[in-house]
């Protein structure tokens, strides 16, 4: 079956029965978990559609493999392929620390304007978790992807650029900054804040969620994160009038409308442990979203179990929430669950919800049966499976 591109027409995604979906194998454990995940995805599609629908996978390149082939960690061909095919999926990519090229994940989000990082976090039955009641947590993180300190506007200590900025701030605003400082800017705009808010609220309304919580440090950073929370409230109360209510205006603890509330970021880390069932959709600036998404993932067993997506107005790039784990690469012991579930999330996005559903059920049954990779198996005291063996057990549950 030859493939066709997914298209966008009349503000809707049009998905053929044989969509071409690009994938990036990734670095470190990436190729291993991608191979395992594809076995699961293809099995689920076959089980649900019996040959009437099929994904035509198209490999594109980023990271170490792209350097080998193109001499560039993120070639223009890859960016154009993601744009023109609308929906893609990737494994983790290496980000050098303190040297080398900037994060390819961040660059992809910025270049493609994938402004919403969306991470659903929910416990899978059978997973060993560090909290007593992981089943109480069921949140979806909406993290603004393009601004904040991740915008990449920074200057190295001692550089001419840093010196100019320090001199400018001293001469113009009488602000004294130590000369041996590295500098960075934290832009948060009304435009970017309002569009991520719209997406979070639309998702909440479409999926029957109960609340959206804006998480911020606006008590300290009043004109960036403080502005973020106020702009978010403006969108909620003005553009969704009649459908939402501010917690600030609630006279009773329960409302039929979507409740919009806000929490200071440091307090939120406490609240999500003490009262996890009180929170639903969580809306955050970039850095807060990065921190909190990992923290809530820990409550349900770790980031190796949580799916993720970076979505713009239509273009979407799905990815696991963990890194490349180079120390595990080549050993066939990595857990592919995050990538497998990111694929399930992708199938939901293109309207193949039956595929997403059967994958989630099969993953859960596999883990409940005590079939798991070493990261979970050692906590449960069961015999660990290799990466591909784990995928094969999931496939058995898909095919039942």
Decide the pairing of beta strands 87-90 and 20-24.
parallel
Structural domain 1-116+305-399, CATH architecture: 3-Layer(aba) Sandwich (3.40)
For 123-267, strand residue ranges (E) read 138-144, 154-155, 183-184, 211-216, 244-246, 258-264
- Give residue 249's pLDDT: 80
Catalytic-labelled residue, pool 61, 150, 279, 349:
150
| Residue 119 annotated as binding site | yes
- Asked if the model's pLDDT at residue 313 lies above 60, the reply is yes
Decide the pairing of beta strands 281-284 and 138-144.
parallel
Q: How confident is the model at residue 98 (pLDDT cuts 50, 70, 90)?
A: very low
Catalytic-labelled residue, pool 167, 266, 313, 369:
266
| Residue 178 annotated as binding site | no
pLDDT in tens, 147-162: 999 888 999 999 999 9
Number of helical (H) and strand (E) elements in the chain, helices listed first: 13, 15
Q: Comparing 1-116+305-399 with 129-148+186-300, is the CATH topology the same? A: yes
Tokens of 50: 């019996």
Least trusted range by pLDDT, from 27-31, 85-89, 321-325: 321-325
Mean pLDDT of 371-393: 94
Mean pLDDT of 32-37: 97
- Asked if the model's pLDDT at residue 42 lies above 80, the reply is yes
Per-residue b or e along 306-321, where b marks 16 or more CB atoms closer than 10 Å to that residue's CB = bbbbbbbeebbbbbbb
- Asked if the model's pLDDT at residue 254 lies above 80, the reply is no
What is the value of pTM for the model shown? 0.91
Domain range annotation of the chain: 1-116+305-399, 129-148+186-300, 149-185
Catalytic-labelled residue, pool 290, 348, 349, 365:
290
- Give residue 96's pLDDT: 59
3-state secondary structure of 289: helix
Give the number of C-alpha atoms closer than 13 A to the C-alpha of residue 46, restricted to the C-beta side.
12
- Among candidate residues 338, 224, 231, 345, the one with its CA nearest the CA of residue 288: 224
- Give residue 94's pLDDT: 83
Provide CB contacts within 8 A for 5, sequence distance 6+: 16, 19, 20, 84, 85, 86
- Give residue 345's pLDDT: 97
Across the chain, mean pLDDT equals: 93
Q: Is 331 noted as a catalytic residue in this protein? A: no
* DSSP string for 323-376: ---GGGTTSS----HHHHHHHHHHHHHTT-HHHHHHHHHHHHHHHHTT--BHHH
Structural domain 129-148+186-300, CATH architecture: 3-Layer(aba) Sandwich (3.40)
């Amino acid at each position: 079956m030859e493939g066709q591109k997914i298209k966008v027409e009349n503000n809707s995604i049009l998905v053929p029965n044989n969509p071409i979906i690009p994938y990036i194998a990734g670095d470190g454990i990436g190729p291993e978990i991608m191979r395992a995940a594809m076995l699961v995805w293809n099995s689920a599609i076959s089980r649900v559609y019996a040959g009437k629908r099929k994904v035509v996978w198209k490999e594109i390149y980023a990271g170490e493999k792209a350097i080998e082939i193109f001499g560039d960690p993120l070639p223009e061909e890859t960016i154009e392929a993601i744009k023109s095919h609308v929906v893609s999926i990737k494994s983790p990519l290496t980000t050098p620390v303190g040297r080398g090229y900037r994060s390819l994940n961040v660059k992809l989000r910025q270049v493609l304007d994938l402004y919403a990082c969306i991470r659903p976090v929910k416990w899978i039955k059978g997973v060993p978790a560090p909290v007593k009641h992981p089943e109480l947590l069921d949140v979806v993180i909406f993290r603004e992807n393009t601004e904040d300190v991740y915008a990449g506007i920074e200057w190295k200590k001692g550089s001419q650029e840093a010196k100019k900025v320090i001199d400018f701030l001293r001469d113009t605003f009488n602000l004294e900054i130590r000369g041996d400082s590295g500098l960075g800017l934290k832009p948060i705009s009304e435009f970017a804040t309002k569009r991520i808010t719209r997406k979070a609220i639309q998702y909440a309304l479409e999926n029957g969620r109960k609340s959206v919580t804006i998480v911020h440090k606006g008590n300290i950073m009043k004109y960036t994160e403080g502005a973020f929370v106020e702009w978010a409230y403006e969108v909620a109360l003005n553009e969704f009038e009649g459908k939402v209510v501010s917690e600030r205006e609630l006279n009773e603890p329960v409302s039929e409308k979507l409740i919009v509330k806000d929490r200071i970021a440091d307090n939120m880390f406490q609240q999500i442990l003490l009262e996890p069932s009180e929170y639903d959709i969580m809306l955050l600036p970039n850095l807060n979203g990065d921190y909190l998404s990992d923290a809530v993932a820990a409550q349900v067993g770790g980031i190796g179990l949580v799916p993720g997506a970076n979505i713009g107005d239509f273009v979407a790039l799905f990815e696991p929430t963990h890194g490349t784990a180079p120390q595990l690469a080549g050993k066939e012991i990595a857990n592919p669950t995050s990538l497998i579930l990111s694929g399930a999330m992708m199938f939901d996005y293109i309207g193949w919800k039956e595929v997403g559903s059967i994958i989630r059920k099969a993953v859960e049954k596999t883990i409940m049966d005590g079939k798991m990779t070493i990261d979970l198996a050692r906590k449960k005291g069961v015999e660990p499976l290799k990466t591909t063996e784990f995928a094969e057990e999931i496939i058995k549950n898909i095919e039942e």
